[in-house]
Amino acid sequence: MNAYINPANAVTASRYLTLPAFVYWMERGDYQLAALAVVMCGVLDLFDGAVARAFGCASGFGELLDAITDAICYAFFIVFLAAHGDMPWPPVICILGLGAVNAVFRAAYARRVGRATNYRSHAMERVVALAAYLAGFGTTGFEPAYYAWVCAALMLVVVAHDARRMLFDPVPPSAEAEEGNAAA
């Protein structure tokens, strides 16, 4: 199957459709519907992996597209919420800055590996999930400042940990081999 145009990447790309819906509902003051757009974005994120496995169309490009879409969608949500006055700016700026630093480290890791690769970090996956919930909590007014500061603090710990791994630890032969070693 085509590595670029396939059902899994279509599901991933469809997550961008939640962004204008989110803005529209936030501007209208329909916070529940805006929260639904955030939830839809998260559900589609869970769904694309399952689609990739069902159709046998998992690819390196798909993984990279998924990671980039995560970053763009969740960053958009929390920046919009901060601009809207629903979340404090300082932790949002910390989260965005750490995300940018992490992206630079990922690029350095890809150079070390010698191929375009999606670097997999179990800890960062969890922090990204928290960023997704943060968008939902911000929309619903559910302790957004508390969650934003905790997200920024944990992200700092994970970026510091992953920096060593990406910049200095030996590169595994392949991502599959690495996962296999972990599961053994």
Site for another protein (CB under 8 A): which residue of 72, 142, 160, 174?
A: 142
How far apart, in whole angstroms, are the C-alpha atoms of residue 15 and residue 44?
6
Residue 172 per-residue DSSP state: P
Binding of another protein at residue 178 (CB under 8 A)? yes
CB of 162 to another protein, least distance (A): 9
For residue 35, what are its two tokens? 């929260």
With CA atoms as reference, report the closest residue to 95 among 69, 114, 74, 113: 74
Binding of another protein at residue 165 (CB under 8 A)? yes
For residue 104, what are its two tokens? 């630079």
Residue number, 35 or 57, with CB nearest to another protein:
35
3-state SS, residue 84: coil
Site for another protein (CB under 8 A): which residue of 3, 5, 116, 157?
A: 157
User: How far from chain centre, in Å, is Cα 29?
Assistant: 26
User: How far from chain centre, in Å, is Cα 98?
Assistant: 13
How far apart, in whole angstroms, are the C-alpha atoms of residue 17 and residue 154?
29
Q: Which stretch binds another protein (CB under 8 A): 9-17, 58-66, 67-75, 154-162?
A: 154-162
Binding of another protein at residue 172 (CB under 8 A)? yes
Binding of another protein at residue 114 (CB under 8 A)? no
Q: Contact positions toward another protein, by CB under 8 A?
A: 30, 32-33, 35-36, 121-123, 125-127, 129-130, 133, 136-137, 140, 142-143, 146-147, 150, 154, 157-158, 161, 165, 169-170, 172, 178-179, 181-182, 184
